[in-house]
Amino acid sequence: MKGRCGIPTESRSMSRTFFILALLTALLLIYAGYAALVLAPTELTMGPVQRIFYYHAPSAWTAFLLFFINFIASVQYLVRPNESADRFAKWAAVAIGVIACIAAFVVPLPSGIEPSSVATTGIVITAAYFLIRKYFSEQGTDILALVTAEVGVVFCTIVLITGPLWARPVWGIWWTWDVRLTSTLVLWLIYVSYLMLRRFSTSGETPKLAAALAVFGALDMPLVYFSIWFFRTQHPQPVIGGGGSIDPRMLRVFAINCLAFTCYAGIICWFRYRIERMQRDVEETRALEALLEPRGAASRDIGSRGLP
Residue 155 has pLDDT above 90, yes or no: yes
pTM as predicted: 0.86
Q: What is the pLDDT of residues 242-264, one digit of tens each?
A: 555 677 888 899 999 999 999 99
Q: What is the dihedral of CA 48, 51, 56, 57, to 10 degrees?
A: 130
pLDDT at 297: 53
Q: How confident is the model at residue 240 (pLDDT cuts 50, 70, 90)?
A: low
Q: How confident is the model at residue 170 (pLDDT cuts 50, 70, 90)?
A: confident
pLDDT at 107: 77
pLDDT at 2: 47
Q: What is the pLDDT of residues 261-307, one digit of tens each?
A: 999 999 999 999 999 999 888 888 888 888 887 655 555 555 555 54
SS (H, E, C) the chain: CECCCCCEHHHHHHHHHHHHHHHHHHHHHHHHHHHHHHHCCCECCCEHHHHHHHHHHHHHHHHHHHHHHHHHHHHHHHHCCCHHHHHHHHHHHHHHHHHHHHHHCCCCCCCCCCHHHHHHHHHHHHHHHHHHHHHCCHHHHHHHHHHHHHHHHHHHHHHHHHHHHHHHHHHCCCCCCCHHHHHHHHHHHHHHHHHHHHHHCCCCCHHHHHHHHHHHHHCHHHHHHHHHHHCCCCCCCCCCCCCCCCCHHHHHHHHHHHHHHHHHHHHHHHHHHHHHHHHHHHHHHHHHHHHHHHHHHHHHHHHHHCCC
Q: What is the pLDDT of residues 36-66, one digit of tens each?
A: 999 888 888 888 888 999 999 999 999 999 9
pLDDT at 304: 54
Cβ contact 156:209 at 8 Å: no
Cβ contact 270:150 at 8 Å: no
> Which range among 14-18, 158-162, 216-220, 284-288 has the greatest average pLDDT?
158-162
Q: Is the dihedral of CA 175, 176, 179, 183 positive or negative?
A: positive
Q: What is the pLDDT of residues 186-216, one digit of tens each?
A: 999 999 999 999 988 877 788 999 999 999 8
* CA-based nearest residue to 61, from 267, 269, 237, 257: 257
| Burial classification of residue 255, based on how many CB atoms lie within 10 Å of its CB (0-12 exposed, 13-18 middle, 19 or more buried) | middle
